[in-house]
Amino acid sequence: MKQRIVIGNWKMNTTAEEAVLLVEELKKQAEYVELDVELGVCPPMPWLLALNEILDETEIGVGVQDAEPGDFGAQTGSVSIKMIAEHAEYVIIGHSERRSTGQDNDESINAKVKSALENSLTPVVCVGEFTHLYEKKRVRGRPTKLEEISNIFKQLQQAIKGVAEKDIPKLVVAYEPVWAIGTGKPASPEYAAEIIDRLRTVLKRASKRKLANEARILYGGSVTASNAKSYAELEEIDGVLVGGASLKASEFMKIAAAFSRQ
């Protein structure tokens, strides 16, 4: 059975000192409990090396929230996936906060996914719709819901274009409806599971069924310690990508415990 995964996306939060305190606390709490769940944190890039060293002998992995494809070059202000590959396990790719500002698009996301795989990092590919599918109004007599749904699947199709079949199981996909991110209004577990199930079919079209089933598809958007269990109860949901609630060690560990198979 594939291991479930809980990843913290710290976004643009924490001072250097706060970041160290947070991982020290996570490390301490992780020592007390044995959890059957993969755990990762994605701090701001400048803290990566220090935190990776602190977490070195633990089961908690470190990642980044974005990085550029390619190796080295004349790109002022950028950091490549290659540069961080030795110091990170995950790279979040195509988060809606980057897509919506034009910092990422289907092409850049696809290039980042391939670069992550080439450099043995786990890509955490984010996809999601802007408006709640069941609340969409009819436009010119036709429900726009279908269009929005197909957009989510197109995002994933584009992101994995050209990815070798053997690499499909290495993918982590995060289904994050934009309207649920940071709003305190999460998607219901059933809603999330339904979309995740369909995202799985996109992977099945790109590879053998068995390989597609090995990839992990997460939910993200206003996940907290109090609602985590309701997602963990559904087999379709292989874990969560957590924003705000990942900034408190005890809250994050409770979410991890909810997803532990033990």
Residue 42 forms beta bridges with which residues? Answer: 9
Q: Which is nearer to ligand PGA, 87 or 248 (CB)?
A: 248
Q: Smallest distance from the beta carbon of 109 to ligand PGA, in angstroms?
A: 15
Residue with tokens 């999460």: 186
Q: Can you give the C-alpha Rg of the chain in angstroms?
A: 18
Rounded-to-integer distance, Cα 224 and Cα 5, Å: 15
Rounded-to-integer distance, Cα 64 and Cα 151, Å: 26
| Annotation says 95 is catalytic | yes
Distances (CA, A) of 137 to 86, 131, 143, 194, 216: 48, 10, 7, 20, 32
Which residues, including other chains, have CB under 8 Å from residue 93's CB and lie 6 or more apart?
66, 104, 109, 112, 113, 116, 123, 124, 125, 126, 159
Q: Smallest distance from the beta carbon of 181 to ligand PGA, in angstroms?
A: 4
> Rule CB under 6 A: is residue 237 a binding residue for ligand PGA?
no
Q: Smallest distance from the beta carbon of 63 to ligand PGA, in angstroms?
A: 12
> Rule CB under 6 A: is residue 65 a binding residue for ligand PGA?
no
Site size with ligand PGA, rule: CB under 6 A: 13
What DSSP letter does each residue of 105-125 carry, written as one string?
A: -HHHHHHHHHHHHHTTPEEEE
Out of 4, 6, 9, 37, the residue judged to bind ligand PGA by CB under 6 A: 9
Out of 242, 253, 255, 257, the residue judged to bind ligand PGA by CB under 6 A: 242
> Rule CB under 6 A: is residue 221 a binding residue for ligand PGA?
yes
User: Which residue out of 97, 129, 176, 236 is catalytically annotated?
Assistant: 176
Q: Smallest distance from the beta carbon of 98 to ligand PGA, in angstroms?
A: 10
> Rule CB under 6 A: is residue 181 a binding residue for ligand PGA?
yes
- Which of 89, 122, 93 shows the shortest CA–CA distance to 110? 93
Q: Do residues 38 and 5 touch, judged by C-beta distance below 8 A?
A: yes
What DSSP letter does each residue of 173-232 carry, written as one string?
A: EEE--GGGTTSS-PPPHHHHHHHHHHHHHHHHHHS-HHHHHHSEEEEESS--TTTHHHHH
Q: Which is nearer to ligand PGA, 35 or 187 (CB)?
A: 187
| Annotation says 87 is catalytic | no
> Rule CB under 6 A: is residue 182 a binding residue for ligand PGA?
yes
User: Which residue out of 95, 129, 236, 251 is catalytically annotated?
Assistant: 95
Q: CB under 6 A: which stretch of 26-34, 61-69, 98-106, 238-246 binds ligand PGA? A: 238-246
Out of 55, 203, 241, 255, the residue judged to bind ligand PGA by CB under 6 A: 241
> Rule CB under 6 A: is residue 244 a binding residue for ligand PGA?
yes
Catalytic residues: 95, 176
Per CB under 6 A, residues contacting ligand PGA are: 9, 176, 181-182, 220-223, 241-245
